[in-house]
Amino acid sequence: MADLDALAESLAATAASLDAHIERRALEIAQEQIAIVAENAERRIAELRADLAASEQRRTDVIAEFEKRIARRDRQIERRDARIVELEADAGRYHAAVGRLFEAPRHVRDGLNMMLTKDVVAAMTGEGEPE
C-alpha cells in the first residue's frame, strides 16, 4: 500500500506540476496576445488622433474662411447702405429743386425748360456744349 500512496503522491505532484506549467504557458501566450492587441490599439489611437487633428484644422480653416466672407459681406452692405443714404439725400434735393421750379414764375420755368431741352438734345446727339 505504501507503493500506492507513493504513486498517488507522485501523481498528485506531477498533476500539480503540470497544472502550474499549463498556467505559466497560458499566461505567456496571453501576455503575447495582449501585447499585440495593445500595440495595434496604440497604433489605431495614433491614427485617430492624427485624423482628429486634421479634421480640427479643416474646421478651423473653414470657420476662418466663413468669417472672412462674412466680414467682406458686412463691408459691402455698409458701403451699399451708405450709397443708399447718399442717393436718398440726392433724391430729396432733386424733389426739393423740382418743387421750387413749380413755385417759380412761368417765364422762369419756361426758360429752364428751354435750357434743359437744349442740354438733353445736345447730350443725345453729342453736338454742342450744354449751357
- On the question of pLDDT at 123 being above 50, the answer is yes
Q: Which of the 8 DSSP states describes residue 128? A: S
Residue bearing cell 492587441 = 37
Give tens-digit pLDDT for 63-114: 999 999 999 999 999 999 999 999 999 888 887 777 665 665 665 656 666 6
Rounded distance between C-alpha atoms, residue 131 and residue 120, angstroms = 10
- Boundaries of every domain in the chain: 2-125
pTM, full prediction: 0.47
In tens, the pLDDT along 19-61 reads: 899 999 999 999 999 999 999 999 999 999 999 999 999 999 9
> What DSSP designation does 104 have?
S
Evaluate whether 122 touches 128 at the Cβ level (below 8 Å). yes
